[in-house]
Amino acid sequence: MILAAGRGERMGDLTDRVPKPLLEVGGRPLIEHQILRLASAGFRDIVVNLAWLGEQIEARLGDGSGFGVGIRYSWEPEGALDTGGGIRAALPLLGDGRFAVVNSDVWSDYPLERLRDAVRGDAHIVVVDNPAHHPAGDFALAPDGKVVEAQHERLTFSGIGCYRPRLFETGRYSRFPLAAVLRGAMKAGTLTGEHHRGEWVDVGTPGRLRALDRMLSV
């Protein structure tokens, strides 16, 4: 699943008329980079959630055949359902087994094929070194690969992970962040992780968009 429903408010007027996943870096929209990397990793069935200007994304990607994959869409109400709510709404399209989820607005050289066999508990996430804009990090890794709460040595959640459907099948609210689900799994001891030390960019601002475009255009 590719998360693509958000408004991208930190992008300012860049996303007034173009949805954030269609902003281009290196000559391609952000979301196309993700689709091509997923296809290269052997994923053939992709779900994309849509809300803000989602009709543009669907028109651009179509059924996915141009990328060698099949794409289905999970439409959300205006304002979207946040990351966790969006995944739960898409469960009927995701099937009964574990599934990978990636944010449309991150770029990384993490080998996505590793997600296929990564889940030992309920979820497995990829964490990265803390970027300058998020110095406090999110989670810590124990020596056995479990994700734990800690005040020090925390790393940043990359927006890349693999999950079992049961994580999202309960809860009172339709709109909630993925972070809430991950913290619940962490407390239950069913969340594992790995530290990716390669390339990773959270394309959250116009400045980071321009920097990634320069890097990919060399």
- Alpha helices (H) in 47-159, listed in sequence order: 54-61, 82-94
| pLDDT tens sequence across 9-41 | 899 999 999 999 999 999 999 999 999 999 999
| pLDDT tens sequence across 46-71 | 999 999 999 999 999 999 999 999 99
Q: Give the CATH architecture of domain 2-217.
A: Alpha-Beta Complex (3.90)
- Overall average pLDDT of the 134-162 stretch: 93
Q: Is the entire prediction scored with pTM above 0.75?
A: yes
In contact, 139 and 193? CB cutoff 8 Å:
yes
DSSP secondary structure of 146-181? BEE--SSS-BEEEEEEEE-GGGGS--S-SS--HHHH
In order of 84, 96, 99, 192, the CA distances from 171 in angstroms are: 11, 18, 20, 22
Question: How many angstroms from the chain centroid is the CA of residue 136?
Answer: 20
